[in-house]
Structure 1
Amino acid sequence: MKGTDPQDHARVMQARTAAIVVAATMVLWIGANFAGREMGLPVRYVFLFDFAALAAFFWALVVGIRLWLSRQSKE
């Protein structure tokens, strides 16, 4: 990214981090639900996996909105 604004590079890195968090959360969430079902975990532990996934998705949503707003204010 030669000759670009350092803030643009920071935005790209934030967007990439948010995308990795969403992808990793999906894989871990599906894996945790499968493992919980196979191991016979109580439902309250499975809900912990769900709430952790919701927190990660909410974080990624907030980061995405902040990136979108910063891009809108730049234009």
Structure 2
Amino acid sequence: MTGGSRQDRGQDRDTGQMRLVAVVIAVAMLGWLLVQFLGREYGWAAKWAFLADLAAIAAFVWSLIVTWRIWRRRNA
């Protein structure tokens, strides 16, 4: 079998999760900027801006939690 060691598989999983975190942060930031821009251009109600703010905050908190878990796992 060429499955690799348990440590190698753990590092592969961490690498995949770090990439996912990076994508989530980038998409959340770009989406937030887009909603802010479109809201200003088209005069959307403030509740949509607040909804975008909350969604971005949720994405950033999720990213922070996943990053912290990766860090803890690597230092264990």
TM-score normalised according to structure 2 size = 0.89
Match of 2:48 among 17, 23, 45: 45
Give, in whole Å, the separation in 2 of the partners of 1:68 and 1:39. Answer: 42
1:52-63 → structure 2 map (5 Å cutoff): 52-63=55-66
Which residue is 1:29 aligned to?
32
Segments of 4+ in structure 1 off by > 2 A?
none
Give, in whole Å, the separation in 1 of the partners of 2:60 and 2:10. Answer: 24
Percent identity, aligned pairs only, is: 39
Secondary structure, in 3 states, of the residue corresponding to 1:41?
coil
RMSD over aligned CA atoms reads: 1.4
| Count, aligned residues | 72
Unmatched 5+ stretches in structure 1: none
Letter paired with 1:37: R
Which residue is 1:66 aligned to?
69
What is the CA-CA distance between 1:44 and the residue it aligns to? Answer: 1.1
Give, in whole Å, the separation in 1 of the partners of 2:15 and 2:39. Answer: 35
- Between 1 and 2, higher relative CO (CA 8 Å, sep ≥ 6) is seen in 1
